[in-house]
């Protein structure tokens, strides 16, 4: 993106801004894209993205003009499309992918969730130096897995400006999941502002794009339920903590247009079906900063894969997923048209598409759900959601909200008990958490994996939770108990817009050391008000419950406010790896660590 791009928001009505243009998207199409289109690629199956297959693939990164909202901007594209080409590869093949950089700046591609040599992981400064302007870098690796994945830039804010695509790896022995139709549904977000300018605004004011601030109407509703004294106490409590109970996301429809397969809500991406067919939808959250809550009104979804891994089927009405996560679902539509509805977690906008028996048909689009406030359980943990009286909130000791105290340095500690049957429940705050980069610490974290999260609780729909997920073939072959625990806290300061591990932003921290082949447990505790999708490169994260029961293999795990979760892992590949929050601005603001496997 050009540094000269205006930071002014578009002079459009809010609804028009959220909907975008019906024909919004890439303006200049490359010859490669047109040829793929002529050969059948880029059909309704993947929106505007061509499909590339085979063991050798060529990708070109360049700037391309786009218009999603009524004004032209420059995007970062792969082979001239947004999303980039869908790569359909085969498990067991060694693939060669040549990436040519036509940008004026360095670039990179990270193969999200793919197990490969660290030199092929695509993280500048960690696994390689990046791809300089005019150069071609050759990625070469063997595909050791199958399922739904994706790929994206790991350089600057290029991912936010359009540089992402789907990566589908077909099982060597053929699909075990039967479906008559197979569609990629890649969700993303777009801003007409220069991402660096957006980031700068957040550094000045962390809630600059939050227009769901508590209102006079909210105050009067509190009076009706809590009484005048309770309502005043509640408002005073939030004011004293200098925190906002509606601060669910950094960005909103004030600057974002939400896309489905590179298509605006007004554009209405469509996938065709015949009544009675079973349709597989491969949902990929390729957004930079948006959690999506996905549902198809009047149609049950059977979740069959999580992060590319087969799971025991779960029937749900709705699921939430953050940047980096993927879910595959099966549906059996009977009517003529259904809306695929993906509303943003902060409830300011949505992406949408349609499953339909013929082009042009639409179904009703639901209204956005009401905004729900964070509760004190989201702040402090270990409490029933919404169950606290205003007296309890008034009397609560806020000393754990980042004011003084001694702590143990826990970033890498060996536990005396061996083996470790269950994850430790003793909270260990690192000494580095007691500083200006941390405005909140949780002393009583919650471990409940069955919580769908704020805005989804008790909404009358069956919502997927982490507790529902079970790997179909169990976890990896390593059945050893962990010999060591690593505990890290997700920390931040909203006023400074600083994000970190254990109060240390990247650049201040030392690498996390893991031994090759060791079996270890990782505990992540979220000491912030926001949900963080945590992505550990180079190895699987085998999520467990608080009793130490292994549940499911993941590459990206969302950690809710005041939550403490754990997973087991075995680092089988030597080298330097990245570990970070997949909210792009959180990663860039410091919630990033290097992991060294030796």
Provide DSSP, 498-519: EEEETTB-TTTSPPEEE-TT--
- Tell me the pLDDT band of 217, cut-offs 50, 70 and 90: low
Q: What is each CA distance from 444 to 401, 501, 546, in whole angstroms? A: 12, 18, 14
Top mean pLDDT of 38-47, 400-409, 506-515 is at 506-515
CA atoms within 13 A on the CB side of 53: 10
Mean pLDDT across 277-287 = 98
CA-to-CA distance for 248 and 234, rounded, in angstroms? 18
Same fold, 14-176 and 402-597: yes
| pLDDT the model gives residue 478 | 85
pLDDT band at 390 (very low <50, low <70, confident <90, very high): very low
Architecture of domain 402-597: Sandwich (2.60)
- Classified by CATH at the fold level, domain 14-176 comes out as Immunoglobulin-like (2.60.40)
Q: What is the mean pLDDT of residues 552-561?
A: 97
Please state the rounded mean pLDDT for residues 392-414: 38
Which pLDDT does position 412 carry in this prediction? 45
Give 8's contacts (C-beta < 8 A, 6+ positions apart): none
Residue 467 phi, psi (nearest 5): -65, -20
Asked if residue 300 lies in contact with residue 317, where contact means CB atoms within 8 angstroms, the answer is yes
Lowest mean pLDDT, pick from 55-59, 81-85, 242-246: 242-246
Q: Taking the alpha carbons of 477, 143, 137, 588 in that order, is the dihedral positive or negative?
A: negative
- What confidence score (pLDDT) does residue 379 get? 79
The Cα 193–Cα 195 span in angstroms is 6
Q: What is the pLDDT of residue 15?
A: 60
pLDDT tens across 130-178, in order? Answer: 999 999 999 999 999 999 999 999 999 999 999 999 999 999 999 999 9
Please write the tens of the pLDDT for every residue from 293-349. Answer: 999 999 999 999 999 999 999 999 999 999 999 999 999 999 999 999 999 999 999
Q: Which residues contact 42 (CB under 8 A, 6 or more apart)?
A: 33, 36, 48, 49, 50, 51, 81
pLDDT at 228: 63
pLDDT value of position 375: 83
Rounded to the nearest 10°, the torsion over CA 580, 524, 433, 123 is -10
Predicted local distance difference test score (pLDDT) of residue 473: 80
Residue given tokens 């397969």 in the structure block: 261
Q: Enter the tokens of residue 492.
A: 């931040």
CA distances from 471 to 350, 450, 474, 544 (A): 30, 16, 5, 11
Q: Are 281 and 331 in contact (CB under 8 A)?
A: yes
Place 218 in a pLDDT band, splitting at 50, 70 and 90.
low
pLDDT at 216: 45
| Amino acid 209: pLDDT | 84
Residues 568-595 have pLDDT tens digits of 999 999 999 999 999 999 999 999 999 9
> Are residues 36 and 50 in contact, defined by beta-carbon separation less than 8 angstroms?
yes
pLDDT of residue 495: 87
Average model confidence (pLDDT) across the chain: 86
Give percent of the chain with pLDDT exceeding 70.
81
**Comparing 124 with 205, which gets the higher pLDDT?**
124
pLDDT at 12: 47
Flag whether pLDDT at 226 surpasses 80.
no
Is the predicted pLDDT of residue 41 greater than 60, yes or no?
no
| Confidence at residue 575, expressed as pLDDT on a 0 to 100 scale | 98
For 572, the token pair is 């089988």
Helix or strand (DSSP H, E) at 353: strand 350-356
Q: How far apart are CA 127 and CA 495, in angstroms?
A: 33
| Cβ-contact 102, 61 below 8 angstroms | yes
What tokens were used for 23?
A: 């024909």
Give the pLDDT score at 213.
56
For position 414, what pLDDT does the model report?
44
Q: How far is CA 154 from CA 103, 157, 163, in A?
A: 14, 8, 9
Q: How far apart are CA 59 and CA 136, in angstroms?
A: 9
Omega of the bond leading into 83 within 30 degrees of 0 (cis): yes
* Distance from C-alpha of 126 to C-alpha of 120, rounded to nearest angstrom: 11
Instruction: Give the domain ranges of the chain.
Output: 14-176, 402-597
Query: What is the reported pLDDT for 227?
Result: 65
Is the pLDDT confidence value at 206 over 60?
yes
Mean pLDDT of 248-262: 94
In the numeric block, which tokens belong to residue 167? 């990566």
Whether residue 204 has pLDDT greater than 60: yes
Of 571, 453, 586, the C-alpha closest to 522 is: 571
495 contacts: CB under 8 Å, gap ≥ 6: 206, 242, 439
Measured on CA atoms in the order 327, 81, 356, 189, is the torsion positive or negative?
positive
Q: Which of 244-253, 273-282, 453-462, 466-475 has the lowest mean pLDDT?
A: 244-253
Q: How confident is the model at residue 479 (pLDDT cuts 50, 70, 90)?
A: confident
Residues 357-363, mean pLDDT to the nearest whole number: 94
Residue 452, SS3 per DSSP: coil
Cis, peptide link before residue 419, omega less than 30° from 0: yes
pLDDT at 403 over 60: no
pLDDT at residue number 219: 44
Q: How confident is the model at residue 84 (pLDDT cuts 50, 70, 90)?
A: very high
- What is residue 29's predicted lDDT score, i.e. its pLDDT? 53
CA distance 565 to 180: 37
Q: What is the pTM of this model?
A: 0.88
pLDDT surpasses 70 at 410? no
Judge whether residue 517 has pLDDT over 50: yes
């Amino acid at each position: 993106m050009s540094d000269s791009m205006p930071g002014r928001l578009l002079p459009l009505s809010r609804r028009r801004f959220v909907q975008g243009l019906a024909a919004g998207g890439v303006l200049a199409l490359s010859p490669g894209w047109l040829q793929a289109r002529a050969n059948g690629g880029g059909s309704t199956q993947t929106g505007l993205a061509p499909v590339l297959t085979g063991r050798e693939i060529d990708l070109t990164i360049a700037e391309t003009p786009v218009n999603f909202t009524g004004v032209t901007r420059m995007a970062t594209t792969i082979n001239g499309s947004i999303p980039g080409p869908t790569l359909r590869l085969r498990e067991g093949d060694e693939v060669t992918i040549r990436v040519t950089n036509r940008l004026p700046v360095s670039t990179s591609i990270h193969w999200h969730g793919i197990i490969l040599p660290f030199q092929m992981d695509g993280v500048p400064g960690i696994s390689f130096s990046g791809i300089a302007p005019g150069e071609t870098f050759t990625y070469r690796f063997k595909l050791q897995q199958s399922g739904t994945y994706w790929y994206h830039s790991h350089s600057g804010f290029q991912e936010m400006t359009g540089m992402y695509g789907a990566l589908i790896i077909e099982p060597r022995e053929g699909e075990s999941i039967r479906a008559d139709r197979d569609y990629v549904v890649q969700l993303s977000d777009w801003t007409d502002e220069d991402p660096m300018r957006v980031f700068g605004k957040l550094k000045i004011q962390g809630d600059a794009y939050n227009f769901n601030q508590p209102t006079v109407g909210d105050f009067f509703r509190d009076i009706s339920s809590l009484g005048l004294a309770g309502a005043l106490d509640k408002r005073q409590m939030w004011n004293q903590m200098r925190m906002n109970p509606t601060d669910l996301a950094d960005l909103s429809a004030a600057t974002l247009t939400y896309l489905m397969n590179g298509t605006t809500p007004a554009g209405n991406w469509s996938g065709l079906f015949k009544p009675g067919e079973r349709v597989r939808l491969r949902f990929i959250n390729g957004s930079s900063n948006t959690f999506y809550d996905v549902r198809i009104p009047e149609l049950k979804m059977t979740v069959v894969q999580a992060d590319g891994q087969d799971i025991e089927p779960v029937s749900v009405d709705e699921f939430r997923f953050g940047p980096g996560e993927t879910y595959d679902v099966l549906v059996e539509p009977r009517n003529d048209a259904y809306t695929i509805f993906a509303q943003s977690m902060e409830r300011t906008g949505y992406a949408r598409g349609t499953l339909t028996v013929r082009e042009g048909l639409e179904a009703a689009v639901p209204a956005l759900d009401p905004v729900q406030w964070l509760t004190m359980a989201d702040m402090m943990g270990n409490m029933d959601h919404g169950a606290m009286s205003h007296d309890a909130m008034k009397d609560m000791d806020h000393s754990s909200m980042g004011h003084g105290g001694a702590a143990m340095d826990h970033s890498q500690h060996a536990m005396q008990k061996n083996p470790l049957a269950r994850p430790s429940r003793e909270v260990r705050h690192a000494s580095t958490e007691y500083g200006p980069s941390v405005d909140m610490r949780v002393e009583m974290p919650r471990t409940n994996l069955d919580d769908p999260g704020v805005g989804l609780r008790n909404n009358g729909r069956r919502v997927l939770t982490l507790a529902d997920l079970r790997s179909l073939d169990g976890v990896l072959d390593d059945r050893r108990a962990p010999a060591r625990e690593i505990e890290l806290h997700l920390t931040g300061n909203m006023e400074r817009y600083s994000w970190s591990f254990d109060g240390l932003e990247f650049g201040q921290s030392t690498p996390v050391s893991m031994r090759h082949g060791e079996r270890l447990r990782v505990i992540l505790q979220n000491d912030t008000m926001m949900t963080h999708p945590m992505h550990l490169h180079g190895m699987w994260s085998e999520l467990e419950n608080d009793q130490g029961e292994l549940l499911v293999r993941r590459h990206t795990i969302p950690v809710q406010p005041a939550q403490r979760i754990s997973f087991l892992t075995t680092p089988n590949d030597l080298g330097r790896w990245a570990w970070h929050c997949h909210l792009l601005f959180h990663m860039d603001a410091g919630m990033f660590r290097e992991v060294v496997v030796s």
